[in-house]
Every structure is written in structure tokens, then in C-alpha cells.
A and B are shown apart, each in its own frame.
Chain A
């Protein structure tokens, strides 16, 4: 007999799990979006417009980390009379993005097979 232990309320539990799921996709989303050059604020808006809203306090440290790992390059430029830091994919980053996209497709296919296999039979 299965017993259920619920220590976290359902809405909180769903929010935590949703956050974990989205957190796993952030790097891929940022790398994919930076196939075209963006500065930080514009990148955040572009991601939000496409349904991948990301907290500023998460995005900027992530960009710095990806740059330190050699996946991004950045430069300061003046635009609209203000200095802005523009990011784009490095050649190494492009290679990593391609492999991550393959991995993403593979995970997606596996999940689809699992979900379809476990779907209740309609009769």
C-alpha cells in the first residue's frame, strides 16, 4: 500500500519543482539567444518576450560565469550615449550550444516516449 507524506504545501511544491525545471534550461536559452549580440537588459527582455523570464540577479552572474568559461565574449560600447556591455557567443560557445541542442532534442524525445508509454489508455 502506498502512503503519501506531504511536508510542503502543493502550490509551494509545484513552484519549487517548476523553478528547478526552468533553472536547468537557462544556460541553453541564454546561449541560444546570444547567437545574436545583446546587451544585458535587452537580452533579459528578449528572453522574457519568448517566455523565458529570468531574474536580473541570476542573469548577470550567469553571463559572467559563461564568459569566464569561454562560451561568451563581451565588449563595452557606447550606444544612445551610454556605455553598454554587449555579449555574444564565442566560437567555442557555438560548438557547445550545438551539442547542448542535440542533447536537448534527445531528452525531449526520451520524455515524449516515457509520457506516451505511461499515458492512461483511453477506452
Chain B
């Protein structure tokens, strides 16, 4: 029965302390009854192989213990699609471009051993992705554990109106989950900007220091206000999805400010300074040039994205017309 005791001990490990004795006593009694019946059927005592077969049938100790625990998920099916979307956004679309355009070139070109610097850059990117994964998962687990009232209590009468079937090109309200993504992205970007500009203005990678140029300080408050503007925009899209015109106006204004700031920044380079110990002047110059080329490409990308967004919001504003009647929509057969 030593094997049986080992099995029960393994199941006990995964059980809540307050229920261990009770559950193990009952489980042990059930297994002993099953062993007795098997021995009676065989007409002889069970050997270790026979006992192992019974225990294998019963199942892995961890899975057996899990059946006694309340069934719950860290992130439920309602929030999981949004969680998945944000993970992809950060780990695929935000972190890699930053490392490819700025950090990577600066580190590789200024390092004594470019291949080692490449490995270090990739490793740092992986660690950043793991950190982002952990933070995002924690946030969504908290949202799952403490759901907002708007998810549980909602009024169907506050849903946005359905546009008439004929006007197929009329703009649609932003889906709720996209508004939440905007909100979280705005909070994340604001915190990142605060961390970058307030707590530290330089980053060390394997002996290479990348520091932000002093001109960024002049733009600290305008950039912070632009990133924070995503918070009311996200809140509007989430809690008041029918405020489409107001939301479009605010976004258009923020896009305008962003374009002005980006235009001003583009003309005020260099934007970063790269420093490394024991590096020849030529290597340092190359590293600085590539880091600033990467930054200018990034700024150009921001300007293009902002311009496209501004055009889309302007089109939304033009296409939105107040809907004054509640006549039923004709259904085409």
C-alpha cells in the first residue's frame, strides 16, 4: 500500500489545507474499496502493477485534486478577445518597431561586437515582451475579478441607433472593445512618457547609452497632454458610444495638435544621443546617425498615421447627419 499512500500524498499537495484531511480520507477509502473488489475478482492480492493500473485509471493527482476546486478562469471568455488583441498590439506592433528602428541600430553599430550586441538586443526585446505580457495579463485579470458596473448593468435603450440600410457608407460607432483598447493605450502611453522623460532620460544596453536630446523636455507637457487626451476619447467611446460627433471633433483636434508637434520635432533634430565607452569616433558618429535616422522614420510614421486618422475623422464628421425618426428599417428580401 506504499504506492497508494504516495498517490494520496501527491493528491493532498494540490488540495486546500482546510479540506485535505477530509478529501484524502474519502478518496483513500474509495480506492481501498476498489482494490478489494479487484482482488476478490482476481482471487489473489494485487501486485504493484495491478495497483498502478488502478491509480492510473483514477488519474493524475493534480487533475484529481483540481476537480474538488472551484472552476474559474483568470480571464473569462468575454474579455479574452480584447486581451488577445492588446497583447498582439503591444508585442507585435509596438515593441518590435521600437527595437528595430531605434534601439537595435544604435546598439549594434556602437557595440564592440555587433553580433553580441544583436543577441543582447533580441534578448532585451524578449524580456520587454515578457514584462508587457505580465502587466497586460494582470490588468485583465483584475478587470475579470472586479468587473465594471457598465459590463453588468446596461440599458438596451442606450445602445447607438442602427443607421438606415440605404446609407451603407455611414460611419459606425466604435465597438466597445476598441474604445477600451484606446483607453488602455492612452494610459500606457502616458505612463511610458512619464517614465521616459521624468524618471529617466537615458537607457543603457550592454555598455551603450541612448539618451534623449534636451529638446524633448520642451515638448514634455504638450506630448503628455496629447497622450492623456486618449483617456477621455476612450471613455467616450466606451461609455457613450452614441456621442460620435463629439468624439470625432475631439479626435480631429488632437490629431491637429499631434501633427503640429510632430512637424516641430522633425525640424529640431538630433533627437537621441548615443554614447559608448571605448568606441572610435567614426563608430560613434555612425551609431548616432542611424539612431536619429530611425527616430526620424518613427516621427514620419507618426505623422502619416495621424494624417490618415485625421482624414478619416473628418470624413466621419461630414457623413454623420442627425437621425430624426425611428421608422423601422426596410428589409431587403
The interface of chain A, by Cβ under 8 A from chain B, is 39-41, 44, 56-58, 60-61, 64, 76, 82-85
23 A-B Cβ contacts within 8 A?
A39-B29, A40-B29, A40-B30, A41-B29, A41-B33, A41-B34, A56-B58, A57-B58, A57-B64, A57-B67, A58-B67, A60-B23, A60-B27, A60-B30, A60-B68, A61-B68, A76-B25, A82-B29, A82-B32, A83-B25, A83-B29, A84-B29, A85-B29
What is the number of residues of chain B that contact chain A, defined by CB distance less than 8 Å? Answer: 15
Contact partners of B25 in chain A: CB under 8 A = 76, 83, 85
**Nearest 9 pairs of A and B residues by beta carbon:** A41-B33, A61-B67, A57-B67, A41-B30, A61-B68, A85-B26, A40-B30, A57-B64, A84-B29
Contact partners of A76 in chain B: CB under 8 A = 25
Within 8 A of A (CB), among B51-68: 58-59, 63-64, 67-68
Q: Please determine whether A56 and B32 come into contact, CB atoms closer than 8 angstroms.
A: no
Contact partners of B23 in chain A: CB under 8 A = 60, 64
The closest CB in chain A to the CB of B25 belongs to A83
> Taking each of A44, A56, A82, which has the highest tally of chain B beta carbons within 10 Å of its own beta carbon?
A56
Q: How many angstroms from the CA of A54 to the CA of B67 in the assembled complex?
A: 14
Q: How many angstroms from the CA of A82 to the CA of B33 in the assembled complex?
A: 10
Contact partners of B64 in chain A: CB under 8 A = 57
Further 8 A-B residue pairs, CB within 8 A, beyond A40-B30, A85-B29: A41-B29, A41-B34, A56-B58, A57-B59, A57-B64, A60-B23, A64-B68, A76-B25
Q: How many angstroms from the CA of A76 to the CA of B64 in the assembled complex?
A: 22
> Taking each of A57, A84, A85, which has the highest tally of chain B beta carbons within 10 Å of its own beta carbon?
A57
Contact partners of A40 in chain B: CB under 8 A = 26, 29-30
Q: How many angstroms from the CA of A109 to the CA of B23 in the assembled complex?
A: 40
Within 8 A of A (CB), among B13-60: 23, 25-27, 29-30, 32-34, 58-59
Q: How many angstroms from the CA of A57 to the CA of B66 in the assembled complex?
A: 10
Nearest CB on B from A76, distance (A)? 8
Nearest CB on B from A50, distance (A)? 18
Nearest CB on B from A53, distance (A)? 13
Nearest CB on A from B272, distance (A)? 52
Nearest CB on B from A98, distance (A)? 28
Q: How many angstroms from the CA of A85 to the CA of B25 in the assembled complex?
A: 9
Q: Please determine whether B30 and A56 come into contact, CB atoms closer than 8 angstroms.
A: yes
